[in-house]
Amino acid sequence: MSSSATARFDRGHTDDLISFLAASPTPYHAVASAAERLEKAGFRQVDEAAEWDATSGGKYVLRGGAIIAWYVPEGASAHTPFRIVGAHTDSPNLRVKPLPDSGAYGWRQVAVEIYGGPLLNSWLDRDLGLAGRLSLRDGTTRLVNVGRPLLRVPQLAIHMDRGIYDKGLQLDKQKHMQPIWGLGDAREGDLISFLEEENGITAGDVTGWDLMVHSIEPPAYLGRDKELLAGPRMDNLLSVHAATAALAAAATDGNLSYIPVLAAFDHEENGSQSDTGADGPLLGSVLERSVFARGGSYEDKARAFAGTVCLSSDTGHSIHPNYAERHDPTHQPRANGGPILKVNVNNRYATDGSGRAVFVDACERAGVPYQHFVSNNAMPCGTTIGPITAARHGIKTVDIGVAILSMHSARELCGSDDPHLLASALTAFLES
């Protein structure tokens, strides 16, 4: 059952999502893009190493590829509960190794490691750029993005792989996924020297790097009526973008009874166990410090957490027309059908009945349709930051998202009005 749809498709929101995806080839760029939008909405960055004050208004913390942002209404008490939208900034991809310069037989290559669980075939024969952050000798970091055709992972010609018809495509992660970027012999330090020169950095000044490959093909509307959107990193920058827009909108509400929060973490695709992941201390530390900055005690923090709800927003699986048997026969989310409520009784998702009621209320107030997702009993279920958030902080958490196709591909697909429907539901949730 779903609510009747009254929220109208906002092409402006999806256009902005396209810009956000294009500007965010890495988690570091994604949080910078989110921070830029929040700054325009009046938020200000706070330093984790500085003392925090009790002032009201919008604030945010940046740490690596994670951002925590919140808005304190005028007159908020120390025990005012939080309304949190959780998401993650990372996507499966190919990441540069510590010794990147490699090659053989006259081909110069870049040594990469597989991050998360990408669909490897989707990275083949695609024009690729390189982006990430460089660490400099003075302790600062520099975001870099070579957004032009630089690398390519070439597939073996069919003439040399006749068995593909019988066995399917077989890819060895170590042997077959190393991109080429030129001709000649590999030279140690060549890639980093290239990036230094490309970005006006003094030669030898880069001492560390976190670099990853990305498809340079821009996001685009697809289909006869442009009712679909194709693009990279929708899992899960679609949710980060929607949550950022929702938080900025909630900050204009003069009658907030909760403190709205955006929590966008890194490293979800490999388990969330890092200082910027959902299984780390970042969110708990920020929420606690917010309580204490307003003169609160441990008791105030406990009261605030007891009334807190988190929507863990991550992409889910739309019904696939070519593989319908892989889905549950009675739960088949469709593109442009509105956000999905994700349920798994084995707690791979954190949703329970009372959490469902919170989500349904937000959708109904926003006039947004909603759907349900449950995995086929014969198929293992994925998971999200939802159960981690619920267990680590003891707060009610609900797993939701947008139904997409081609999850973990270098280029994914969703309905073009679903991003706006999600943002509308998130805004209603944060403003309630």
Q: What pLDDT, on a 0 to 100 scale, did the predictor assign at position 9?
A: 58
Four-point Cα dihedral 350, 330, 234, 250, nearest 10? -60
Return the half-sphere exposure (C-beta side, CA atoms, 13 A cut-off) of residue 165.
Answer: 5
**For residue range 261-317, what is the model confidence (pLDDT) as tens digits?**
999 999 999 999 999 999 999 999 999 999 999 999 999 999 999 999 999 999 999
Residues 42-51: contacts with CB within 8 Å, 24+ apart?
Answer: 42/251, 43/69, 43/71, 43/248, 43/251
pLDDT for residue 8 is more than 70? no
Work out the pLDDT band at 432, boundaries 50, 70, 90: confident
> How much of the chain, in percent, has pLDDT values that exceed 90?
94
Q: Report the pLDDT value the prediction gives residue 4, as an integer from 0 to 100.
A: 39
Residue 11 has pLDDT above 90, yes or no: no
Instruction: Answer yes or no: is pLDDT of 5 > 90.
Output: no
Coil, strand or helix: which one is 287? helix
pLDDT in tens, 307-322: 999 999 999 999 999 9
What the block records as the tokens of 26 is 């890495």
Q: 90 pLDDT exceeds 60? A: yes
**3-class DSSP state for residue 406?**
coil
In whole angstroms, give the CA distance from residue 199 to residue 136: 12
pTM across the whole model = 0.96
DSSP state at residue 326: G
Number of other residues whose CB lies within 10 A of the CB of residue 6: 11
pLDDT of 1 over the 80 cut: no
Element (H, E) at 316: strand 316-317
State pLDDT tens for residues 394-422: 999 999 999 999 999 999 999 999 999 99
Distance CA 48, CA 68 (A): 11
Q: Residue 162: which pLDDT band, with cuts at 50, 70 and 90? A: confident
Tell me the pLDDT tens digit for each residue of 98-127. 999 999 999 999 999 999 999 999 999 999
Alpha-helix runs per DSSP H in 120-175: 164-167
Does position 347 have pLDDT exceeding 80, yes or no? Answer: yes
Per-residue model confidence (pLDDT) at position 322: 97
Task: Please give the pLDDT value at position 334.
Answer: 97
pLDDT of residue 138 exceeding 90, the answer is yes
Residue type, 276: T
Stretch 228-255: mean pLDDT, rounded?
97
Q: What is the pLDDT of residues 32-78, one digit of tens each?
A: 999 999 999 999 999 999 999 999 999 999 999 999 999 999 999 99
pLDDT of residue 10: 67
The answer to whether residue 137 scores a pLDDT higher than 80 is: yes
Measured CA to CA, the distance from residue 324 to residue 372 in angstroms comes to 16
Report the percent of the chain where pLDDT is more than 70.
Answer: 98
In this prediction, residue 166 has a pLDDT band, given cuts at 50, 70 and 90, of confident
Q: Where are the alpha helices (DSSP H) in 147-277?
A: 164-167, 190-198, 234-250
In the block, which residue shows the tokens 């929507």? 311
